[in-house]
Amino acid sequence: MSGNIYQQGLGKNAANFVPLSPLSFIERTASVYPRRTSVIHGQRQFTWSETYARCRRLASALVAHGVKRGDTVALMLPNVPPMFEAHFGVPMAGAVLNTLNTRLDPEAVAFMLQHGEAKVLITDPEFAAIIRPALDLLEGDKPLIIDALDDEYPGTDRVGTLLYEDFLAGGNPDYPWSLPADEWDAIALNYTSGTTGNPKGVVYHHRGAYLNAASNIISWGMPQHAVYLWTLPMFHCNGWCFPWTMAANAGVNVCLRKVDPALIFELIRREKVSHICGAPIVYGMLINAPEQLRAGIEHSVAGLIAGAAPPAAIIEGAERVGFDITHVYGLTETYGPASVCAKHPEWDELPIDRRAERNGRQGVRYHMQEGLTVMDPQTMQEVPADGETMGELMFRGNLVMKGYLKNEKATQEAFAGGWFHTGDLGVLQPDGYVKIKDRSKDVIISGGENISSLEVEEVLYRHPAVLTAAVVARPDEKWGEVPAAYIEVKDGAGVTADDIVAHCREHLARFKVPKHIEFCVLPKTSTGKIQKFALREMAKSASATE
Amino acid sequence: MSGNIYQQGLGKNAANFVPLSPLSFIERTASVYPRRTSVIHGQRQFTWSETYARCRRLASALVAHGVKRGDTVALMLPNVPPMFEAHFGVPMAGAVLNTLNTRLDPEAVAFMLQHGEAKVLITDPEFAAIIRPALDLLEGDKPLIIDALDDEYPGTDRVGTLLYEDFLAGGNPDYPWSLPADEWDAIALNYTSGTTGNPKGVVYHHRGAYLNAASNIISWGMPQHAVYLWTLPMFHCNGWCFPWTMAANAGVNVCLRKVDPALIFELIRREKVSHICGAPIVYGMLINAPEQLRAGIEHSVAGLIAGAAPPAAIIEGAERVGFDITHVYGLTETYGPASVCAKHPEWDELPIDRRAERNGRQGVRYHMQEGLTVMDPQTMQEVPADGETMGELMFRGNLVMKGYLKNEKATQEAFAGGWFHTGDLGVLQPDGYVKIKDRSKDVIISGGENISSLEVEEVLYRHPAVLTAAVVARPDEKWGEVPAAYIEVKDGAGVTADDIVAHCREHLARFKVPKHIEFCVLPKTSTGKIQKFALREMAKSASATE
């Protein structure tokens, strides 16, 4: 016998060890709360017992159609019940869930289907016009196509020959699915937006999905039976793992095909929505929506915000219209949020603007993440917590992806030195909270000085006429780069470039004041992130033609 | 290359895999909330930063004194700060925490120190008179003794030569402890009370302690910064894992050397206690305490109850005096509670007695436990959910112990058929909730009919004069066994055996009515469990001498 006394005869067995998987949560909730509402979509409503049975039908039908353990099942769906069900039914079949960004073009979709080797694709009529040419681009066997029609959408354009409801009808509602053999097994594949080069396929495992689903509850303080409105696309990092969170807390999923402030406020009022998540752009739309849309809503709604570094002004504005905002941060590679700007009760006594500033930081690791810090990526030394020394934000722990699919080089680079490199630049503040200053590629270097585009944007957002703002580098003969600002103004607001410059001069060192100001509609990704690479192109051309 | 595409190049590394351990929680909280209160004990008060530093000092001092990975460190302590600190400092040293029941006699303590091979024992002056003879009984090397004096206790009787505070003073507050190499490594050793034969040493691992600490938060809906009063002994299943839970939720631990209703209500009032845990006996004392003790307490206190099957009357009584009761169930082998009688909002509309009846069931698995059911232990088939067919309660999942230390036979028996056998008998109700009918050894078989001692006790508790009641089998020539009732009456209540019999006849079939009734002080364990084996002995002698 070797080792200490605790290493003898105390091994794992079926009674004391079970792989962690978020699939356990839906089994529990369907059994404990079978008659509680699980999913609401327009006129349709399901109970947890019904949703669980539909997930099992889906799993068994996938297996009957030849899907095997480790096969990929792709989804091109808005936030509709089949999308929620796929988060359980696909892994119950042992397969891997690959949700596709519904705003992609056919080429990008084709790349993902090919690279992920999807065996099945479930799709919505709204995207038939993208899927059809994407399929034409595929080499080799095409995936099995299942069309999920939706009563809440007028179109019925189909790509395949199978209908989702028929597919389910052929499945077994009591299908005896099993947990993964290993909690390290893949549960999901999520492609990064890939602003340069091909997108990378981020692979999640069951263990991480389970822990992040639980961490969402603990780190947010989310109660059982929360009513959650799907303002966040489920295709985005699996809706930050919230499908699994909602199964754990036996809550209500209120579906939403698209972000429409009138509909959102109506659903908040009617369904007594208690929780939402979203990018700053979503909150921006809600803040700036006509006040009468909010009439009759008497309760406060808890809101998680992330997706891009949110300006404090957005947090402040959201609080003013009745959202209790918690700021989180993460990336596709960290299952969505893996850090939270954990609040301190004493912040409640601060004026709203100072509180928003505190809340606007990326904060500290999630309860079930192990590490978040800022390091010099060359030396892998933590920067001093002085709020000034810049470094790269790094994560470590169980809420970090398995790696990039079929891309060992990128995987190794991402994990160099035993930490996940986010590519975001920031500082450690004296209280240990992390604050992003910029994406490494977004820093503007002007006359040898670094300018944080975020810092300039923060100032722009404080101007009352500004709805959305983005600052990028513009090539400049004298300075190397200068800041250029792109601004969307609020409806009916009158403002000139000179006004903006004057406002910036009040709050910024002169070298940080934008040298070029343009009023326009900003290019955005599906999740509301501003596409800075597009703006950089605009800035370059503007510079060249001047 | 073998396997599917997700099994290639996506392995574990330092960035994406970290062993689960509740030690991660204190590191996080000390860093995020360094100045928040961690522990209050009488006049003493610590912050999370201070507590964390004290835990690191303890770990480094243990290592400096020769403690190695996998060594056992025993504790004979009431609920005082050193007991809380040991839950972190001991495993930070790689050692295993062995908390001893402070009501044990020297022989039992000696058995545990010997069997667990304790290298160090930290003890309180109150127990010096037990520890000294226990040490005399030990063969071989004695453990290193550390006396933890306490300003809240008048005695200063010391057993060893080292004082806890001096020991800490010699430690390093910045000690670079590390997580266990494997989350399956042992974190704690807890001996069962062992009413027959030698106690068994239940071994917990870091993974289970982590998951149960989190499950306490999720399954109870416990918020961040809860104020937790230590009415439950920390030596009992590591306080149901609540030292680790409180570290995760950055709450306040209000220490308590002994269960004293006057002090408990004073602390609830003064410290604004929000949460407590305890056995039914604790709630019984609080319910029956003079009303004026509760004066000035305006807030509701959330209370977990477990430890023995609680009569519905206790739950009802506790609700009447301002506790919001949640009923949990578990055993030493399941890290304390591993099931919860999950509430349904619609129960709120029931009359209090019917609600208490619903809440009085053992319920359903904890969020992070995988299975709880009732089975025929011979066939390992689940009983029908008819509320009538008896079977044995069985658990399965990550909240089940590693096994019994140095006892492979008992370990294998406990895990036979891939489930942990609790030894409790019960039924599955139609809603899938488990209800205990009895410990297998507590069933009374009278004229071939099974009588549930719990059912008779439930009726006894409904009599207004009854404070505590226990029913056991008494040998009987004619019937084999008959029920005998042992009753503690409330202060000032006048009641006769005939009154009790009349009350029982109203609510029970005649063969279930106790044939022998005795008014006495009931023998109890330190956690308030009634010692039925002692009552059975009393019943036997009474039967023999009649």
Residue B476 belongs to domain with CATH number = 3.30.300.30
Do β-strands B420-428 and B391-396 pair in parallel, antiparallel, or remain unpaired? antiparallel
- Asked if A405 and A189 count as a contact pair (C-beta separation under 8 A), the reply is yes
Closest Cα of chain B to A228: distance in Å?
A: 17
Instruction: Calculate Rg over the CA atoms of chain A.
Output: 24
Does residue A234 fall inside a structural domain? Answer: no
Instruction: Compute the Cα dihedral for B537, B539, B544, B546 and give only its sign.
Output: positive
ipTM: 0.89
* CA atoms within 13 Å, Cβ hemisphere of B158: 12
Tokens of A534: 């597009």
A to B CB pairs, distance under 8 Å: 173
How many domains would you assign to chain A?
Answer: 3
Q: What is the pLDDT of residue A527?
A: 65
Instruction: Tell me, yes or no, whether A3 lies in a domain.
Output: no
Q: Do B390 and B496 fall into the same domain?
A: no
Name chain A contacts of B395, Cβ cutoff 8 Å: 15
**Residue B251: inside a domain:** no
At A308 the pLDDT is: 57
**Residue A14 is nearest to which of B5, B8, B418, comparing CB atoms?**
B418
Interval B191-221: pLDDT, tens: 986 545 678 999 999 999 999 999 999 999 9
Residue A518, pLDDT score? 93
Judgement on whether residues A452 and A423 belong to the same structural domain of the protein? no
- Chain A partners within 8 Å of B214 (Cβ): 214, 218, 367-368
Is A171 found in the same domain as A38?
yes
Question: Does A6 contact B186 at a Cβ distance shorter than 8 Å?
Answer: yes
Task: Give A443's pLDDT tier (boundaries 50, 70, 90).
Answer: confident
On whether both B269 and B153 belong to a single domain, the answer is no
Cβ contacts of B5 on chain A, cutoff 8 Å: 70, 72, 117, 405-406
A chain contacts of residue B370, beta-carbon cutoff 8 Å: 18, 24
Are A412 and A447 members of one domain?
no
* Whether residue B387 sits in one domain with residue B300: yes
Chain A contacts of B17, Cβ < 8 Å? 398
Long-range CB contacts for residues A197-200, cutoff 8 Å, separation at least 24: A198/A111, A198/A115, A199/A108, A199/A111, A199/A112, A200/A404, A200/A405, A200/A407, A200/A410
Residue of A nearest to B26 (CA): A367
Query: Does residue A214 belong to any structural domain of this protein?
Result: no
Q: How far is A467 from B432, CA to CA, in rounded Å? A: 53
The one-letter code for the residue type at B11 is G
Same-domain check for residues B421 and B451: no
Rounded mean pLDDT of A498-510? 90
pLDDT per residue as tens digits for the range A122-175 = 999 999 999 999 999 999 999 999 999 999 999 999 999 999 999 999 999 999
Averaged pLDDT, A453-458: 87
Structure tokens at A371: 């590490």
How far is the C-alpha of A418 from the C-alpha of A226, rounded, in Å?
37
The beta strands (E) that lie in A211-335 are given as 227-229, 252-254, 275-278, 301-305, 323-331
Tell me, yes or no, whether A268 lies in a domain: yes
Residue at a domain's end among B415, B440, B465: B440
Q: What mean pLDDT comes out for the span A274-294?
A: 92
> Which stretches in chain B have pLDDT values below 70?
1-2, 193-197, 307-310, 526-527, 545-546
Task: Specify if A244 maps to a domain.
Answer: no
pLDDT, tens only, B241-291: 999 999 999 999 999 999 999 999 999 999 999 999 998 889 989 999 999
DSSP code at position B323 = E
Contact A7 B368 (CB under 8 A): no
One domain for residues B435 and B481 = no
Which residues does chain A have within 8 Å of residue B117's beta carbon, measured at their own beta carbons? 5
Residue B235 CA to residue B527 CA, distance in Å, equals 10
A375's tokens? 């390091």
DSSP strand pairing (B275-278 vs B301-305): parallel
Residues of B with Cβ-Cβ distance to A225 under 8 angstroms: 345
- pLDDT (average), residues A231-252: 97
User: Residue A85 in contact with residue A54, Cβ under 8 Å?
Assistant: yes
Which domain range does residue B408 map to? 259-440
Q: Do A218 and B217 touch (CB under 8 A)?
A: yes
Those residues whose C-beta lies under 8 Å from the C-beta of residue B215, and which sit 6 or more positions away, are B338, B366, B367, B368, B369, B399
Q: Which of A409, A440, A471 is the last residue of a domain?
A: A440
Provide, rounded to the nearest whole percent, the portion of chain A with pLDDT above 70. 97
Degrees, nearest 5: CA angle B395-B399-B404: 85
Tally of residues, chain B: 546
Q: How far apart are CA B423 and CA B390, in angstroms?
A: 12
Last residue of a domain, one of A424, A440, A456: A440
Contact B370 A15 (CB under 8 A): no
Q: Which residue of A has its CA nearest to B188?
A: A6
A401 three-state secondary structure: coil
Quick one: tokens of A423? 């590519």
For residue B69, which residues of chain A lie inside 8 Å, CB to CB?
4
Q: What are the beta bridge partners of residue B330?
A: B337
Nearest to B97 by CA among B244, B235, B208: B235
Q: What is the mean pLDDT of residues A77-93?
A: 98
> What whole-number percentage of chain A has pLDDT above 90?
77
Interchain proximity B406–A117, CB inside 8 Å: no
Of B4, B185, B401, the CB nearest to A70: B4
Cβ density class B237-257: b for 16+ within 10 Å, e for less: bbbbbbbbbbbbbbbbbbbbb
Contact B28 A367 (CB under 8 A): yes
Is B18 inside a domain boundary? no
With respect to residue B211, please indicate whether it lies within any of the assigned structural domains.
Answer: no
| Closest residue in B to A3 (Cα–Cα) | B70
Based on the fold, state whether residues A265 and A350 are members of the same structural domain.
yes
Rounded mean pLDDT, A299-327: 86
Contact B8 A401 (CB under 8 A): no
Closest chain B CA to residue A434: B32
**Residue B36 CB neighbour total at 10 angstroms:** 18
| Predicted local distance difference test score (pLDDT) of residue A193 | 67
| CATH number, residue A120 | 3.40.50.980
- Contact between B372 and B338 under an 8 Å Cβ cutoff? The reply is yes
Q: Are A310 and A356 members of one domain?
A: yes
Mapping DSSP to helix (H, G, I), strand (E, B) and coil, where does residue A429 land? coil
pLDDT of amino acid B526: 67
Mark whether A430 and A451 lie in a shared domain: no
pLDDT at position A1 is 43
Q: For testing the chain A interface, which of B6, B117, B216, B412 should be mutated: the one with the most A CBs within 10 Å?
A: B6
Q: What is the CATH number of the domain that holds A340?
A: 3.40.50.12780
- Are A111 and A132 contained in the same domain? yes
Degrees to nearest 5, angle at CA A68 with A63 and A69: 120
